[in-house]
A and B are shown apart, each in its own frame.
Chain A
Amino acid sequence: MPRRPRIALLATEVRKYSHGQHFIDRFLEGYGWHGRHHYPPFELAGLYVDQFNEGDLSRDRASRHHVKIYPTIEKALTLGRSKLAVDGVLIIAEHGFYPRAEKGQTRYPRYEFFQRTVKVFEASGRAVPVFNDKHLSTDWSECVAMVRAARRLGFPFLAGSSLPVTWRIPSVEIPLGASLEESVCVCYGGIDAYDIHGLETAQCMSERRAGGEVGVKSARAVRGNAVWQVLERRETTQRLFHAAVARSFTCRGPSNYPSALPDLEWLKKNHRNPVAYFFEHLDGFRTSLFLLNGIVSDFNYAGLVHGSGEILSCQMYLPMPPVLSTLADFFNPLVNHIERMVLENAAPYPIERTLLTSGMVIFALESLYRGQVLVETPELNVAYRAPGQSTFWNA
């Protein structure tokens, strides 16, 4: 019997509902997929865990499933031998205790894990597909270095959020080559944590526009009342903002009327700490992100089609535990894409998406740090084409 392909997973920590747990359990226990319980045809052969914090589950999983936890990344990738011994690598460096950078980012060791992985590839004379959970790094030069290393060694590199691949309600897609003018995401969460999810929500739609993605020219992030002031001046963004809010299932508007939607006047009076990022792309396209903690707790998208004025909108639905679910099943399609990447030796969508969204987060935070000023972003001259096929969960 041919051996199953082996994967190594490098995690910062593994506790209930940490990203490490979500990925590890799907490879070990399977998950619901296309109307059956699917067991990935892989052996989780090597595990590296950076921190064993309170509530650690990695040792329980290792013991029950006979998976070895290695003391170093290198040993996890070589399975204790001298050369690379796995067919795919997952870097799940989210959660755990890591230092905060000056601009508010948590310095999760994604870049370090990746670099050490690349060194093993180089020493082994062989490279295998790599998945990196969420954004690439908190430093732009590190993000670029990661993508360059993947190109140099020729291995498929996939990264990003689960938002682009989760359920959409309604189940809509931007037609490839559509004449899209602007994308808006209204969501929630903190900077350098959920902003990347919101930007990936928008970007997986925006990249399908005519001409494809051409890169981002400038970024500006604002807080508090300035958010509403900018929104008031931008009629199209305002239309898209309300369209996105209308897709939310969790929007908390005027009290006592749970199904009512808030208007701008109500928001100005009642929501004093919003954060928004505004981006202009090199072709004039615009992306706006609104983090409205306390108003919505889901991810909602609206895009404007140029000319017709048609708005295409949906919620990218996360069945988020513990309120809406007991499992974070939005990881199912992401894990399935990783499986396909390793089996087919090709990433299902371009790493440039996450290179760009990583940069958008970095420069938005730079804008906040510098006093909410407009920041020119010649570095984000990242052009790429979206895949022809939709990659979100709809079957």
Chain B
Amino acid sequence: MRAIRKIAFLLDEFASPSPGQQLLDRFLIGYPRDGALHTLEDAAVSAYLAVSAESTFGMREEEFDLEVAPTAERAVAGAGAVVVVSRRPGAVANEAFLRIALEQAPEGAACFVHGVLANSLASARHFAAKAASRRIALLAGTPLCVTWRLPPVDLTPGTPLTEALIVVQVNPVAIQATPPSPPATLGGAELQALDGLLPVLERRRGGESGIRSVRFLEGKGLWRAGEKGQWSWPLLAAALSRSHTPQGDAVLDGRTQDLAGLGLVPKLARGPRGWLLEHCEGLRTAILVLDGVVADFNFAVRAQSGEVLSAQLFRAPTPAEHHFSRLVAVMEEFFRGASPPWPVQRNILIAGLLEKFHKPSSISGLRLETPELNIAYSV
């Protein structure tokens, strides 16, 4: 394991809490890891913050020797590790920051992007190639890919899968006083879904095979597709059974309810949307964005044997959001030269899928062939 010496943060914002604050504070001040406070003794931390009137590093410069750099280039100079954090929820990458990181960081450095790697498949591929050419280790991700699962399950490597499903929300707050406002950034929920689910799926037999087609559905079309078996109601029921935050009567009077079995899901869902992915080897994945039904992220996958594996992707409460502690532990090992915890191909695939999700042609209900997403990898 190598010493890090200097970690550079390139931040769009520094609100509290925000991913930028959560990540920087942990490298600067320390974080709980394996039941003890863990601090980095061997790394100076520098940060460049993009112009943002409401943002401030507070007392971090004085109390923790944070070096505030006047430019992104100065922050990155001499850094053994670079962290790029774009605005919440990280579904739109700050490609300018990443470009600077990959051009200015010393050869042999490591770079981690919070959120999506890039805003298009072409950019993601370009950045991965650029990083490789300069021997810079490059990864992207969110806490969802490494957080605790309830229960603490994982797919046995090599298990053949037939179907997968994940339920996420735009606004996952347990008790919502008012309906959530429309998403500021389309793709935030989808990014979380992909980042939470792909680490499970890529362990299946043959690894990830890439995506052959995508299909967008919304409103009644989403429910009709479920009735036709184009996504699995039983898997949705399994995923919902893992939720701690059913909405509806549970909010009213604390009642436990079988949301799927009682037919309540379509009644509760606000602006439901979903993506049906067909993987190259035949696995079918459904991403359901269901605000108003539950307020946590839950998945279920079915093995060829018929066995169903399901879990909640745990998000720890604000303001500490200790799922970021899990991510920082993984990032720290990555920066210290450990083998990458996942292949960058996962991040390239996610970038390509989010690009596809953003395209107007996707908002049609049609099945779109995606030969460009034939991105296979294994872990």
Contacts and interface: CB of A to CB of B under 8 A. Distances in A.
A393 interface: yes
B244 interface: yes
B245 interface: yes
Interface in A212-269: 242-243, 246-247, 249-251, 256-261
Interface in A146-170: 167, 169-170
Interface in B300-333: 300, 308-310, 314, 316-322, 324-325
A22 B254 contact: yes
Interface in B1-58: 16-17, 22, 25-26, 29-32, 35-37, 58
Given A258-B320, A325-B174, A171 B254 contact: no
B237 A251 contact: no
A5 interface: no
A250 B309 CA distance: 29
A25 B250 CA distance: 10
A313 interface: yes
B242 interface: yes
A321 interface: yes
Contact of B174 (A16, A17, A314, A326): A326
Contacts of A25: 254-256
Interface in B155-192: 174-175
Contacts of A317: 150
B317 to A, nearest CB: 6
B254 A17 contact: yes
B91 to A, nearest CB: 23
Nearest to B322: A249
A256 B16 contact: yes
Interface stretch (B126-134, B257-265, B352-360): B257-265
A327 B148 CA distance: 20
A325 B148 CA distance: 17
Given A35-B242, A35-B310, A37-B261, A326 B247 contact: yes
A183 to B, nearest CB: 14
Contacts of B324: 259
Contacts of A35: 238, 241-242, 300, 308-310
Interface centre among B150, B247, B254 (most CB of A within 10 A): B254
Interface in B234-293: 237-238, 240-247, 250-251, 253-258, 260-261
A256 B309 CA distance: 40
Interface in B179-232: none
A252 B178 CA distance: 28
A327 B29 contact: no
B194 to A, nearest CB: 22
Contacts of A17: 254
Contacts of A251: 320
A384 to B, nearest CB: 28
B253 A57 contact: yes
A322 B175 contact: yes
A16 B254 contact: yes
Given A242-B37, A251-B320, A258 B25 contact: yes
A323 B317 contact: yes
Interface centre among A170, A302, A319, A323 (most CB of B within 10 A): A319
A16 B253 contact: yes
A378 interface: no
A16 B151 CA distance: 27
A30 interface: yes
Interface of chain A, main secondary structure: loop
B59 interface: yes
Contacts of A29: 255-258
Interface residues of B, number: 55
Nearest to B64: A257
A327 B32 contact: no
B247 A247 contact: no
B254 A321 contact: yes
A29 B254 CA distance: 11
B365 interface: no
B36 A170 contact: no
B58 A256 contact: yes
A32 B317 contact: no
B343 interface: no
Contact of A325 (B240, B244, B255, B316): B244
Contacts of B25: 257-260
A1 interface: no
Contacts of B245: 325-327
B152 interface: yes
A201 to B, nearest CB: 15
A21 interface: yes
Contacts of A30: 256, 258
B52 to A, nearest CB: 18
A324 interface: yes
Interface in A273-315: 302, 311-314
Contacts of B261: 37
A326 B257 contact: no
A243 B309 CA distance: 32
A321 B245 CA distance: 9
B300 A311 contact: no
B309 to A, nearest CB: 8
A247 B32 contact: yes
B217 to A, nearest CB: 24
A246 B320 CA distance: 12
Given A37-B241, A326-B247, A246 B32 contact: yes
A395 interface: yes
Interface of B: 16-17, 22, 25-26, 29-32, 35-37, 58-59, 148, 150-152, 174-175, 237-238, 240-247, 250-251, 253-258, 260-261, 295, 300, 308-310, 314, 316-322, 324-325
Given A246-B32, A256-B16, A258-B17, 12 more contacts: A29-B255, A32-B240, A36-B237, A37-B258, A167-B151, A169-B148, A170-B148, A249-B316, A249-B317, A323-B174, A327-B246, A328-B254
14 contacts: A21-B254, A25-B256, A32-B241, A169-B314, A256-B59, A259-B25, A259-B321, A259-B324, A312-B35, A319-B244, A322-B175, A325-B244, A326-B244, A327-B254
Closest 9 CB pairs of A and B: A258-B319, A32-B241, A325-B244, A313-B35, A37-B258, A319-B244, A246-B32, A326-B250, A35-B310
Interface of A: 16-17, 21-22, 25-26, 29-33, 35-37, 39, 57, 60, 167, 169-171, 242-243, 246-247, 249-251, 256-261, 302, 311-314, 317, 319, 321-329, 393-395
